[in-house]
Amino acid sequence: MTPAHADTAALRTVKSICPHDCPDTCVMTVNIEGDRAVAIGGDPDHRFTQGFLCAKVNRYLERVYSSDRLLHPLRRVGKKGEGRFERITWDEALDTIAERFRSIIEEHGAQAILPYSYAGNMGLLSYGSMDRRFFHSIGASLLARTICSSAGGAGLRVTLGRSVGFDPEAIVNARFIVAWGANIVSSNVHLWPFIEEARRRGATLVAVDPYRSRTAEKADRHLALRPGTDAALALGVMHVIFRDGFEDRDYIERYTLGADRLRERASEWTPERTAQTTGLTADEVESFAREYATAKPSAIRLNYGLNRHAGGGMAVRTIACLPALTGAWRRPGGGVLLSTSGTFPVNNEALERPDLIPPGTRTLNMSRLGRILLDRELSPPVKALFVYNSNPAAVAPEQEMVLAGLAREDLFTVVHDLFRTDSADYADIVLPATSTLEMFDIHKSYGQLYVSLNQPAIAPLGESKPNTEVFRLLAARMGLDHPCLRESDEEMARSVFRWEHPHMKGITYERLEREASVRLSVPESFAPFAEGGFFTPSGKCELYAEALEAQGLDPLAGYTPPRESAATAPDLARRFPLEFISPPAHHFLNSTFSAQPVFVQREKEPSLIIHPTDAAVRDIRDGVQVRVWNDRGAFLARATVSDAARPGVVVGLSTWWPKMCPGGRNVNAVTSQELTDMGGGAAFYDALVEVGVAASAGDLSRRAS
């Protein structure tokens, strides 16, 4: 045995970066024996990861080495959706795709091709680099990536100017913390130790959530408001702030725009009116407002739960006005945090090459995939769909339409994934993807402030390939000759950031190679708007924003009610009286991990949490199978009768793979393709339903009697 060989056979530890759609972007330590990863953990030296991983990624090696992994390209031999395939070579797969793309371009034009991707892998290269360059070069339709955060992002940007918030590590300084539409324990668990530290120092934690989530359970108080009424609560808080003189006049005068108008609007939102709209009591509103306004500083951790409503953009915007009124931004740990991603100086122009987009190219909204695929007027129609980093058959709204669209015989579909998802079952060609341990990438984060480099820990399993390589190969196969289509991953990674930006001071590519993860060059106790400096056109926190006026929207922060609720759609609510929300299950991440046996075992089966009062009038006992339906569709679930759901609200934890659900449909059977007020986002949690005991197991159709 040569010494070199002895070396590789020995146990070594490398660092990898978790690429999943989560604010934490963890640094993992991976033990390798020979060519195999044998253990995984959180990097103890990383200040945000703090040596532990979440419930899901702790079991990551079971995912990497799963016998269900796709290891070579496949061609469909059965009917669409049936899931019967035969093995083919990469050459055959690439030739088939290139040939079909060419003939579709010839017959219908390149815009008949639609990429469909989201955040299955959040590495900057995997999320969007060579893929974008490729689709831009051929002139494919553009995809508006709206399925997650675009409403809240738009609301935040119009108010603060950028997706920037308080430094999450500084939350230890907060005296009052609001988890607002944020189930931190499940979906941002690495913030939790910082919150615990703040609580040890005396902070109070309040959860604002229609559902008693794991976070609400652990909080000091829980405000279980009606879904989609968050902005009303924020206005009620403002009412108390102005009425009782809790505002920071100096901060308001120097650093905000439109405070007088907002004060006037808030004056109408008495605690009584706020209580009526939100379903809270006036006392709850009063004491929440007082505590929020007088604790110094107060921190609001927003997450995307409250942006999945018709008024989601406005909800985030109105809440984001609060810290400017109380001056909470003055101190580290004060303010709001929805996303840190705007703190990273990413060079999107270099990465995605939008300059290659042919002028006039149309943009299609991913949150309307069902409509797009079934639209007979669309010209040109979508004739080819290339799905990667996403599982639309499970996660896109109005599932009946999505599946009917995917089942179209004249649609050519490619799916690139690690597993045979429901979406893959509808594909003509399935391509195997690498896991993060098998690839190279570079990362920012949307919930912390570290730049991270992921170097391959092990070789790709089977014939799997990373996203960048697939599009590099396809570009070559189609004879595209732009030099940017030949760049290596390392070349792209070297141009991913504006390295000269002050936040990158002292950070180099070589340093990332050595250290894997480095904190942005921002002060230790970082208070981004302590002295104003908002990124808006006026440089102020825009309580009143002319930019919105120009879009025909209400320029003043306010309240946009839900589209589907008893107050706003009384006729609909008579037929479908229950408000339905479908937040993430603790052991799933969207639909990633939803087929991994250990997590299926823990989540057991699709469930519907229903309040005892709502259950009683429907004769629903704990543990029976129920049917949940509206005019868009139906799904089946096991009833959990519990006051964890507030009266009038039912909760279906998501996202199961439809093919693993009884009846073959999941929560998205009843969600809608209507969009949010800002950002063209999906309004998953804006849905009225009715629930009844199911006729028989697996029967989706209406109850027989």
Ligand X SMILES: Nc1nc2c(c(=O)[nH]1)N[C@H]1C(S)=C(S)[C@@H](COP(=O)(O)OP(=O)(O)OC[C@H]3O[C@@H](n4cnc5c(=O)[nH]c(N)nc54)[C@H](O)[C@@H]3O)O[C@H]1N2
CA distances from 210 to 189, 228, 245, 301, 648 (A): 20, 9, 30, 16, 10
Sheet containing strand 384-388, strands side by side:
85-87, 74-76, 429-432, 412-417, 384-388, 113-117
Residue of 21, 425, 438, 489 that binds ligand X (CB under 6 A): 21
CB 494 to ligand X: min, Å? 20
What crossing angle do the helices spanning 130-138 and 467-477 adopt, rounded to 10°?
30
The yes or no reply on residue 655 touching ligand X (CB under 6 A) is yes
Residue of 70, 685, 688, 689 that binds ligand X (CB under 6 A): 685
295 binds, among ligand X, Mo ion, none (CB under 5 to 8 A by kind): none
| Between 292 and 388, CB nearer to Mo ion | 388
Q: Is 360 exposed, middle or buried (0-12, 13-18, 19+ CB in 10 A)?
A: exposed
| Between 518 and 687, CB nearer to ligand X | 687
| Between 122 and 694, CB nearer to Mo ion | 122
| Between 20 and 263, CB nearer to ligand X | 20
In which element (H, E) is residue 115 found? strand 113-117
| Between 301 and 331, CB nearer to ligand X | 301
Find, among 418, 378, 316, 590, the residue nearest to 71 by Cα: 418
Residue of 187, 339, 445, 464 that binds ligand X (CB under 6 A): 187
Helix (H, G, I), strand (E, B) or coil at 110: helix
Residues in a beta bridge with 363:
142
The yes or no reply on residue 302 touching Mo ion (CB under 5 A) is no
173 binds, among Mo ion, ligand X, none (CB under 5 to 8 A by kind): none
Residue of 284, 291, 398, 417 that binds ligand X (CB under 6 A): 417
Show the site string, 201-240: x = touches ligand X by CB under 6 A, - = not.
-------xxxx-x-------------xx-x----------
d(CA 18, CA 55): 13
CB 433 to ligand X: min, Å? 4
Half-sphere exposure of 40 (CA within 13 A, CB side): 25
| Between 8 and 488, CB nearer to ligand X | 488
Number of residues that bind ligand X (CB under 6 A): 59
| Between 278 and 343, CB nearer to ligand X | 278
667 binds, among Mo ion, ligand X, none (CB under 5 to 8 A by kind): ligand X
Token pair recorded at residue 372: 């797009």
Sheet containing strand 27-33, strands side by side:
11-17, 27-33, 36-42
The yes or no reply on residue 116 touching ligand X (CB under 6 A) is no
CB 381 to ligand X: min, Å? 23
CB 698 to ligand X: min, Å? 21
Contact segment (CB under 6 A) with ligand X among 38-46, 98-106, 115-123, 238-246 equals 115-123
Residue of 181, 333, 561, 658 that binds ligand X (CB under 6 A): 181
- Note the helical H segments in 10-140: 60-64, 90-108, 124-127, 130-138
464 binds, among ligand X, Mo ion, none (CB under 5 to 8 A by kind): none
183 binds, among Mo ion, ligand X, none (CB under 5 to 8 A by kind): ligand X
Per CB under 6 A, contacts with ligand X among 504-543 are none
CB 533 to ligand X: min, Å? 27
Number of other CB atoms surrounding residue 551 within 10 Å: 12
Per CB under 6 A, contacts with ligand X among 578-617 are 581-584, 586, 588-592
The yes or no reply on residue 167 touching ligand X (CB under 6 A) is no
CB 550 to ligand X: min, Å? 28
d(CA 576, CA 574): 6
The yes or no reply on residue 126 touching ligand X (CB under 6 A) is yes
| Between 536 and 592, CB nearer to ligand X | 592
d(CA 298, CA 179): 11
| Between 119 and 170, CB nearer to ligand X | 119
d(CA 187, CA 569): 32
671 binds, among Mo ion, ligand X, none (CB under 5 to 8 A by kind): ligand X
The yes or no reply on residue 148 touching Mo ion (CB under 5 A) is yes
| Between 634 and 651, CB nearer to Mo ion | 651
479: alpha, beta or left? (left if phi > 0; alpha if psi -120 to 50): left
Task: State the sign of the Cα–Cα–Cα–Cα dihedral 301, 303, 306, 309.
Answer: positive
Residue of 29, 49, 121, 298 that binds ligand X (CB under 6 A): 121
Residue of 608, 636, 639, 667 that binds ligand X (CB under 6 A): 667
Number of residues that bind Mo ion (CB under 5 A): 1
Show the site string, 95-134: x = touches Mo ion by CB under 5 A, - = not.
----------------------------------------
* Chain CA centroid to CA 431, Å: 24
* Chain CA centroid to CA 432, Å: 23
In which element (H, E) is residue 313 found? helix 312-326
* Chain CA centroid to CA 530, Å: 29
d(CA 231, CA 233): 5
Show the site string, 293-332: x = touches ligand X by CB under 6 A, - = not.
----------xxxx--x-----------------------
CA distances from 249 to 242, 253, 254, 324 (A): 10, 6, 9, 10
∠ at Cα 50 (46, 56), nearest 5°? 110
Pairing outcome for strands 429-432 and 74-76 = antiparallel
Per CB under 6 A, contacts with ligand X among 256-285 are none
The yes or no reply on residue 316 touching Mo ion (CB under 5 A) is no
CB 390 to Mo ion: min, Å? 11
The yes or no reply on residue 247 touching ligand X (CB under 6 A) is no
| Residue 528 preceded by cis peptide, ω within 30 | no
Find, among 700, 340, 350, 317, the residue nearest to 494 by Cα: 350
Contact segment (CB under 5 A) with Mo ion among 74-82, 147-155, 193-201, 566-574 equals 147-155
Task: State the sign of the Cα–Cα–Cα–Cα dihedral 504, 145, 562, 161.
Answer: positive
Contact residues for ligand X, defined by CB under 6 A: 21-22, 118-121, 126, 147-149, 180-183, 186-187, 208-211, 213, 227-228, 230, 303-306, 309, 388-391, 394-395, 416-419, 421, 433, 467, 581-584, 586, 588-592, 654-655, 667-668, 671, 684-685
Residues forming the site for Mo ion (CB under 5 A): 148
